[in-house]
Each structure stands twice: as structure tokens, then as C-alpha cells.
Structure 1
Amino acid sequence: MDLEKQDAERTAPPAHRPPPRQPEAGEGCLVVAIRLPVRVVVLLVVLPVRLVWDAGAAAARWLGRAVFRPLGRALLWAGRAVFVWPLVGLWRYVLVPLGGALAWLGNLVVVVPAGWLYRYVLVPVGSALVWLYARVLTPFGHGVTWVVRGIVAVLATIGLGVFAVLARLARYLVVVPCVWLYTWVLTPVGHAVARCVKGLVRLAGMLVTGIGTVLYWITRILFVLPLLAVWRWVLVPVGRVLAVVGREIWDALGHAWRVAGYVSLAVGRFLRTLFRWVVVEPVRWVYTRVLTPVGHVVRDVVLRPAAAAAGAVGRAVRQSLASARLTLRQARADLRRVLVGEQHPARDENRREPIGGDTRTLGSRTTALTKD
């Protein structure tokens, strides 16, 4: 049933398979001449590969179902037994109690002394430092700041005067001569140099433009036009032919793969049918026509009589054992009676019913309850 389901799934066309490519209007005799040989060659190449692929896939499915899944379950159970359960036991019965003990010890050794040190040492020392900062260091700092501000103000006044004098001297000794030199000397010289440089740049640009134009036309005539002709009249037609050949090879591969799938399916069905008629049917016929009647005969002729005989022997043995136990019990009672004597059961004084001569008779007028 599984093989039939797999065959049905394989023969059914998948929903995502693209529709067959329609022939283009521009296909000529070259495409038609290439298509059939290419498809024949590709089919001869792809068919063994598809057969080997399908055989490997079937073997892999069988191995996964019959070998790897049970082996994986066994390895998973072994992994749990070897790693998980010991680690869980170690965590639950060793690490957790040890962690609790270490936490209690850490609390006792570290946390409690640290709390005591913070409460009775660090807090008083911090309070003393705060008082020292607020009552001593802050007033002293304010005084030092006032003194420094006065000194800075005096120095700033003196520095401003000196800076004004130096600024006047720098203006009349440095700035004014530099401005005159820049205005009446450097500016005219710079303008002349700029005009010369501009003329040289324009001349160099004209030379570069002429050389570039000459090189452009030389490059165009010697390289670009030949390459363009090779591209247009050689590479493009060859590329189109190669594109047609590649497309046909790709389509031939897809077509050959599908055809090889149908061939592989037919071969698989043939091999399954052959295996069924060569192995399964003879084995079933031998089991149905030979082994089952022989088994019934052995059951009716040998096993059932043997079971009945064994049951009879068992019943006889049980009866013999019961008779032996009864005989042994009687012999033990006779021996006790010979050695000890006949023992009567003790009379129960509290019983409600009278015993022996105390019982009521038809000729008496009293009962056991009103006799006394």
C-alpha cells in the first residue's frame, strides 16, 4: 500500500509544475534541427542518473524507516540514560543541596559581617567625614576662594594696561607696515602672476584638447570600430546560437528528467511485480498451502493430544497430592489422639443457646432461660 501511494504521488502532476513552453514564432530550422538530437543525447545521459537517483531515494527512505529511526530512538534513550538522567540526579541531589549549604555559609560568613561593618564602622566614619566637610573644609574653601578672586582681579587690571600698550605698539610697528606692503607691493605682483598663470593654463588646455581629440579619433578608428564590428557581426550571432543551444539543452534536461522519472517508475513497478511473483507469491503459497495445513495437522494430531495428556497427568498428580495430604492429615490426627487423648472443645459459659441436657424438651415446662 505504501508503494502504491508513493507511485500515485509520483505519477500525479504537481501543482507548482510550470506549463509546457509554447514554441516561439521566430523558431526556425536551426532550432528544430538542434532540438531532437539534443533531447535524445540528454535522455541517454540523464536516464541512468535518474534510475540511480530513484533507487538511492527508495533505499534512503527504507533505511530511514527501518534503520535510522529505531537507531535514533535507541541512541536518544541511551543519551538520556547516560547523560540526562545522571546530570538531573547530580543537579537535584548534589548541586542544589550544596548550593543551599554554600548560600547559608556565605550569608553567615560574608553578609552578616559586612552588614555589621557597614552599620557600626562605615556609617559613623561617613557621618564624621560629612561633619568635617560641612564645618571645617567648606568655610576654609570659601576664604581661599575670596583671596584668590582678589589676587586675580589685581592681576587682571595690571594685565589689561600692559595689553593695551603692547597692542598700540604692535599696530604701529607691525600691522600698518604690513598693510602698506600688501596694498602697494604684493597685490600688483599677485595680479601679474595670476594673469601669467591663467594664460599658461589656457595654452595648456588648448594643447591637451588637441592631443585628446587626436587620440580619441585614433582610438576610435583603431580599436572601437573594429571591436564594434566584431561584436555586431560575430559575437551577437554566435551568442544567439549559443543561447538557443543552451535553452534547448535546458529544456531537454527537464524533458529527459521527466521522461526518466516515468521510465524509473515503470522499472520500479516491473521490479516490484517481479519480486512479488518470484518471492512473495511463492512464499505466501507455501505458507497458505503447505505450512498452514501442516501446522493444523501438527496442532490437531500432536499438540492438542499432548496438551490433553499433560492436563490429565496434571489432574492425576493433583488428585494424588490431595489424597496424600488427606492421608497425612488423618495420620497426624490419629497420632495426636493416641499420644494426647481425645480432646473435647471447652464449654462456652456465655453462649445464649443451652447445650446438652439444658435444652428445652417437649415434656418440660421450663426453658433454659427460666430454669434457674
Structure 2
Amino acid sequence: MDLEKAPPRREPEGCLVVAIRIPVRIVVLLLVVPVRMVWDALVVAARFLWDVVLRPLGRALFVWPFVALWRYLLAPVGRGLGRLGNVLFVVPLVWLYRYVLTPLGHGIAAASTWLYARVLAPVGRAVMWVLRGIGAVLAALGRLGRYLLVVPAVWLYTWILAPVGRAIAWTVRIVVTGVGLGLYWTLRVLFVLPAVGLYRWVLAPVGRVLAVIGREVGEAIGHAWRVAGRISRAVGRFLGTLLRWIFVEPVRWVYRTVLTPVGHVVRDLVLRPAAQAARAVGRATRQALASVRESARQARADIRRMLFGQPEQREKVARREPPARETRTLGSSTTALTKD
């Protein structure tokens, strides 16, 4: 079973189509190639601008401020307003419904039941009895009117008005048919037959030629657009390779061969010893400052002793709690059985 789709069958083409196709495709190709190359360049520039500038700028200006506004302002305020609304409205309304409206509704329902059973139902039955009497009177009047008005009117329409109307309609139909046939053939001879001849022998051939030209121009534009795309991609690859070998590869070689070893040498011979020396200087400075602070503290203590004398030494008081009494064990001699 052949699963591939068979190509659509095309009608045999004449020499006019072939003669139009080749010049049109050449001219359209020459016109479309620059347009396609400019279009591809604009697409690449727009994609680069979108990825590098517009998308990060849009996130920084629109997305993150709105996210922060929602997360840190609107959501907490909404939750607070929800709790406030619950306290101010929902809880009072629930209490009002449960303890006021529900008992009031039960009372109104009981009163309505009593009113319907004792008042409205008897009044409704009396009104229905009166309406039945009125209906019987109206039915009698309807029968009387039918025999006095409807039956004579139907007889008059069936035996007098309908035959007269049919005769008038038949006469009018004959007159209108004759006049319509005369107008039809007059208009056909004067307008329809010349218009049909003009369409069949002039407009249709011209339209077919214009349709062939338009179809060929459209196919030529599509074919030229695809060919121009291949040419544009080839030119773009060539320019990319040229730029890579002129700029990228030399810069990469300089970075890999020159700058990286120089950076390692600078790091090992300059930066790392400088950092070690800075750390040693820092340690020495901290030690010197500590010794200066200790000397100043000692000098202040000596001056205080010279001016105010030696402060009295307070008697040290043992603040420890007395030892707890040892618990009794089998080896202790505190019982009468084990006492020496």
C-alpha cells in the first residue's frame, strides 16, 4: 500500500503560460532577493534587540514591580480587608439572619397560613362561583352570536365573495402575464443577449489571460522568496564565518594564549603576595592596637591608684551551696544493721 500522498495532477499548460513564466520569475527574483536579505537582517536585529534589551527591560519595568506590589501590598491589604469585612458584615448579618429574620419569617409564615385558610380560601371560592356564573352567561351569548353573525358571514363569504374574488384574480393574472411576457422578451433582446455576448466573447477570455498572469506572478513571487531565503542564509553564514575568523577567533586566541597566562602570572607573583602582605600587615596592626589598648588601660589603672589609693579588697564569701546529704546505699553505715 502506497502511503505517500500522490502529487496533484496539473492541467496541461500552453505555450503562453511557459512564455510568461520564465521572464516573470527572473524579474521577480531580481526584485525579491534584496528585499529578502533586508528582511532577514531586520529579523536578526529585532530578535537580538528583543532577547538582550526589551525582554529584560520589560521584566524590570513591568513584571517585577507588579509582582512586588501584589505580593507585599495588595495581597496583605486584601487579606486584611477580607478579615475586616468578615467582622463588620458577615458576622452581624449571620446573627441578624439567625436570631431576627428566621423567627420573624416563621411568625409571618404561620400568620400567612392562618390568613389563607380562614380568609383567602373562602373569598376565592366565592369569587370562583361568581366567575363560573359569568362564564355560563358568556357561553350562552357566544352561541347566540354565532348563529346570528358568524354563520351568515361564512355563508356570504363562501357563496358570494369567494367566487367574485377568484374571477377578479383570474382576470388580473391573465393581464399581468401578458404584460410580463412582453417586458421579459423586450428586456432579454435589448439587455440580456448583448451582455451575454460581451461576457462570453470578450470578458471571459481577457479574465482567463489575467488569471494566468496573476497565478504565474504569485507562483514566481513564492519561488523567488524561497530562493532569496536560501541566498540570504548563505550570505549570512558567509558573513558570520568571516566575522568569526576576523574578530572572534583572534580575540579568543589572544585571551587564551596571552591574557590568561599573564593573568595567572600577575595573580601568582603580584596579587597573591600582595594579599598575603596585606593580611600580615593587618595582623601586625591589630596586635599593635591591642598592645596600645592594654598599655592605656594599665596607665589608667596606675593613675587611679596614685590619685585615690589602692581600693579595699573585699572578703570573698563562698557562694556555693552546702553539699547535699548523701543518699543511703547498701554500703553506707547509717542503719542499725550495718553500723560498726
- TM-score (norm. length: structure 2): 0.64
1:306 counterpart = 2:292: no
Q: Deviations over 1:229-277 (max 9, x none)?
A: 4334333332232222122111111110011101111221122223323
The 3-state SS of whatever aligns with 1:94 is helix
1:86 counterpart = 2:73: yes
Q: Deviations over 1:38-69 (max 9, x none)?
A: 11221122223212221222223223322333
Change (3 A) 1:124 1:301: closer
In structure 1, stretches of 5+ residues that fail to align are 1-17, 351-372
Aligned length: 300
Superposed counterparts of 1:311-322, under 5 Å: 311-317=279-285, 320=288
Equivalent position of 1:262 in the other structure? 230
Which of 204, 212, 215 in structure 2 is aligned with 1:247?
Answer: 215
Matched letter for residue 32 of structure 2: V
Equivalent position of 1:276 in the other structure? 244
- TM-score (norm. length: structure 1): 0.59
Change (3 A) 1:20 1:87: same
* Distance in 2 (alpha carbons) for counterparts of 1:64 and 1:79: 21
Q: Deviations over 1:273-308 (max 9, x none)?
A: 233233323432443344334323332332122122
Equivalent position of 2:35 in the other structure? 49
Change (3 A) 1:96 1:197: closer
Tell me the C-alpha RMSD between the 2 structures.
Answer: 5.2
* Distance in 1 (alpha carbons) for counterparts of 2:34 and 2:70: 46
Q: Deviations over 1:306-344 (max 9, x none)?
A: 1221233234345556777898999999999x8678x99
* Distance in 1 (alpha carbons) for counterparts of 2:34 and 2:219: 18
In structure 2, stretches of 5+ residues that fail to align are 324-340
* Distance in 1 (alpha carbons) for counterparts of 2:53 and 2:76: 32
Superposed counterparts of 1:85-124, under 5 Å: 85-109=72-96, 111-119=98-106, 121-122=107-108
Change (3 A) 1:262 1:20: farther
Q: Deviations over 1:139-180 (max 9, x none)?
A: x88789889999999x99xx99xx7xxx8xx8xxxx8xx99x
* Distance in 2 (alpha carbons) for counterparts of 1:268 and 1:304: 46
Equivalent position of 1:71 in the other structure? 57
Q: Shift of the alpha carbon at 1:133? A: 2.9
Q: Shift of the alpha carbon at 1:105? A: 2.2
Identity over aligned residues, as a percent? 46
Q: Shift of the alpha carbon at 1:37? A: 1.6
Equivalent position of 1:129 in the other structure? 115
